[in-house]
Structure 1
């Protein structure tokens, strides 16, 4: 196919690899003497196999093995320079995603079978957020599997987004996305490749850490405090309600705080509840990784217990400025509007001390989520 159409082709498939049988208890070699990996393969325009990447971060994939060593795999093209490879759940972890970025790779290819996880990790929402936050191009191809809520693919650059997100009732099996985008590979365009050094804000005092988390849990809420705890994607967020049509709010999870300035523009007679939430700690369900998150979300109902639940539609537009001071430089911004529509933040600013600000106005649809999703890779549990 690659040769016939004179193109580079990336495909995802299983790959069998022989491994050394040993009696060592620490050996990862299965009893039949072979590994089976979740694999990306790359064919260049003459049909030659030029790259193969084995997925590192498995997500309930009992049929696959974890490679014994992380792989950082790239391939070069004559038309756009260098590309890096990752698969699905890999996108949330330092290896291989951030290792590729830190090596100067600005163009990533991402086959995935992503189950939409509103309100923070819808497929196109986080694809766009990664592209913006890491300043990379991401070519994302998602499996279409409605029964498992797997929809949403796109071509993302720091400046643009071409995407498709199927919704309930859509009968089409898929859609081809085509876009002309700029080349970001610095070597290909004749610039020097630079690798950022870890920021000083990543330093931590291990004396304050406990079980993989260096954050204090939220303090008990007294009756006079207008905050409440509600679970969002199974993490206990501290929330505060937006009780006015405009104003300023702060909410903290321990010592990590989020700030919001907002003005609501409700449509018609709609009455929708919104809340500002903060979380800092180790997410321990469906994987284990450390987060700092500021999120403005539409609640599913008019009760505080509905804040953090999945919502796909909203009518209330909002002008806002969302801000947090993060202990990491890896913060991924997103604005998700009604019916899975992405909005490009009007202004993003990151300061040397870790402060991240996202400003947006003139929304085209009702606000579902505005999020600053910080990943504390350096605090993640160590691999066995």
Structure 2
């Protein structure tokens, strides 16, 4: 019996061994399949880096924007050759951004065509491109315009989202409201997904010195959802200074990020591109991807990536005309995931939101070529803030009743120390608290209702309207004065449409985020410096009252500095 039992155990053992081998083969096969699948994902959405970086990508996406100097002049050259040359440059930037794991890249306003556009609609037609509706893929469409095909195919190759500003033509013969020449001309932003498919098309609503272009009957709030869970809204340049469609994007559609092609005209002291971009992100509480046209001798410059709440992750305002073919700015952005639109929450009063960060990464250039415009400050009421003293003042401006502007007051708390005398070749800045409520002029083209209160560095004049107040000047030194504390607070809820916290240093960049705090609720707003700053040019609350737009301004328009 023992012998029989031993003989039976041999095949049983062999069977167990075979089963174990088979199980190992199955497990290895599953592992190989998983590895191949994972590699496939990495190839489809190239991330690069080690496993820890891959894990980080679940919490952030990588954004790229381009500070870009457009080539060519379509009034003197073949417009399609101009567009083609800039398109080739765009594709090079897309490949550079791909190599740095970018998920999205944004290009500036007028970057394909330049701002040298023909003055008549007949001539302008040659610059325009027909753009299909979303869900079309120009890369697969032989009938699509060549520039769209090239950009769509390059987007597919780079496997990233791409936002392009392009001058659009839409044929509209026999339609109500169609111009006599049978077409509508739009300043348009187009978004492509990773496969090169058009996923959004936004036609700029708030035009500025754009003769020949049309606007839609109502402002369009245009968004697209991303594969990392964000919802991106599209706005262009002057849209940042108007209520719509920005309000709808943020409050109703709950965008998490704004892609922002811009050709900004920099104006001291309150409307320098980088300070507006950071302030808009802080006030609206969304991330901003701002790509600026680079024409410093005309006043155009300024790009950056800003985390929701206003923290600059990377920002540049090159003051020299030396960026060559352009400057790629790239940064990882913490992900905010958008709620489904069908279950979006009802808007509630915003809670105070601090703007804090461990650092700010900036890129700057030597000064010299940037044309800076200056706001007309003579109508402002101002009080000088003397060094060596603590100031807690309430200042008011009796708004111009003829245009319906109400009296506006704010509180300024500051402590300034003139720590060291400036070098003999430099003059010191003096600080003023200034305030205004009324209507201002934008370049003789538009008027706008504003309320402003803030601290400004001034050069020698005791009055806000003095020539050197609110200016950046290499013959003046802000570094000799240290602001140990500075707070600007105001009630900006009842009579304003929206407001922006504005800060600016001598580098023409926002105050470092770890030194700045902004709060806003239904009772008012404040912006303050939480640690000493030695090169402050501006700290302010800048508000819009769009109900006053179109009225006559009190005083002259902005001038070049």
How does the TM-score come out when normalised to structure 1?
Answer: 0.82
Separation of aligned partners in 1, 2:497 and 2:218:
26
Distance 1:81 1:361, change over 3 A: closer
Structure 2: which 5+ residue stretches go unaligned? 1-153, 351-373, 399-406, 423-427, 552-561
Higher helix proportion = 2
Shift of the alpha carbon at 1:160?
2.5
1:81 aligns with 2:81: no
Separation of aligned partners in 2, 1:233 and 1:183:
40
Whether contact under 8 Å (2:442, 2:448) holds in the other structure is: no
Whether contact under 8 Å (2:281, 2:306) holds in the other structure is: yes
Shift of the alpha carbon at 1:331?
2.3
1:19 aligns with 2:172: yes
* Paired position in structure 1 for 2:344: 193
Distance 1:191 1:14, change over 3 A: closer
Whether contact under 8 Å (1:272, 1:302) holds in the other structure is: no
- Equivalent residue pairs, number: 345
Shift of the alpha carbon at 1:312?
5.3
Shift of the alpha carbon at 1:120?
0.2
Distance 1:291 1:114, change over 3 A: same
* Paired position in structure 2 for 1:253: 397
Distance 1:312 1:142, change over 3 A: farther
Shift of the alpha carbon at 1:94?
1.0
Separation of aligned partners in 1, 2:261 and 2:247:
17
Whether contact under 8 Å (2:501, 2:527) holds in the other structure is: yes
From 514, 518, 529, give the equivalent of 1:348: 518
Distance 1:175 1:323, change over 3 A: same
* Paired position in structure 2 for 1:114: 264
Residues 289-324 of structure 1: per-residue CA shift (max 9 Å, x gap): 322211211114435223644325622231211111
1:64 aligns with 2:64: no
* Paired position in structure 1 for 2:528: 359
Distance 1:367 1:142, change over 3 A: same
Structure 1: which 5+ residue stretches go unaligned? 200-230
Indicate the RMSD between aligned Cα atoms, in angstroms.
2.6
How does the TM-score come out when normalised to structure 2?
Answer: 0.57
Separation of aligned partners in 2, 1:62 and 1:297:
35
Residues 205-235 of structure 1: per-residue CA shift (max 9 Å, x gap): xxxxxxxxxxxxxxxxxxxxxxxxxx94467
From 408, 411, 430, give the equivalent of 1:273: 430
* Paired position in structure 2 for 1:214: none
1:53 aligns with 2:53: no
Separation of aligned partners in 2, 1:282 and 1:64:
26
Whether contact under 8 Å (1:235, 1:283) holds in the other structure is: no
Whether contact under 8 Å (1:233, 1:308) holds in the other structure is: no
Question: Does the residue aligned with 2:246 lie in a helix, a strand or coil?
Answer: helix
Question: Does the residue aligned with 2:297 lie in a helix, a strand or coil?
Answer: helix
Separation of aligned partners in 2, 1:329 and 1:351:
14
Shift of the alpha carbon at 1:69?
2.4
Please give the residue correspondences for 1:115-134 in structure 2 after superposition, counting only pairs within 5 Å: 115-134=265-284
From 499, 502, 517, give the equivalent of 1:331: 499
Residues 75-104 of structure 1: per-residue CA shift (max 9 Å, x gap): 111123211001101111111112211111
Distance 1:232 1:146, change over 3 A: closer
Shift of the alpha carbon at 1:346?
3.2
Whether contact under 8 Å (1:134, 1:330) holds in the other structure is: no
Separation of aligned partners in 2, 1:99 and 1:236:
33
Separation of aligned partners in 2, 1:6 and 1:294:
45
Question: Does the residue aligned with 1:275 lie in a helix, a strand or coil?
Answer: strand
* Paired position in structure 2 for 1:217: none
Question: Does the residue aligned with 2:326 lie in a helix, a strand or coil?
Answer: coil
Separation of aligned partners in 2, 1:57 and 1:360:
33
Question: Does the residue aligned with 2:328 lie in a helix, a strand or coil?
Answer: coil
Please give the residue correspondences for 1:1-384 in structure 2 after superposition, counting only pairs within 5 Å: 1-20=154-173, 27=177, 29-103=178-252, 104-157=254-307, 158=309, 160-161=311-312, 162-168=314-320, 170-187=322-339, 193-196=344-347, 232-233=375-376, 236-246=379-389, 247-254=391-398, 255-270=407-422, 271-286=428-443, 287-304=446-463, 305-306=466-467, 308-311=469-472, 314-315=478-479, 316-318=481-483, 319-326=485-492, 327=494, 328=496, 330-343=498-511, 344=513, 346-353=516-523, 355-377=524-546, 380=549
Separation of aligned partners in 1, 2:521 and 2:497:
9
Distance 1:21 1:303, change over 3 A: farther
Whether contact under 8 Å (2:387, 2:418) holds in the other structure is: no
Question: Does the residue aligned with 1:140 lie in a helix, a strand or coil?
Answer: strand
Residues 318-374 of structure 1: per-residue CA shift (max 9 Å, x gap): 121111112347321122111213212533222432x21222133454110001112
Separation of aligned partners in 2, 1:307 and 1:239:
14
Separation of aligned partners in 2, 1:195 and 1:117:
37
Structure (1 or 2) with the larger CA radius of gyration: 2
Whether contact under 8 Å (1:88, 1:111) holds in the other structure is: yes
Shift of the alpha carbon at 1:276?
0.9
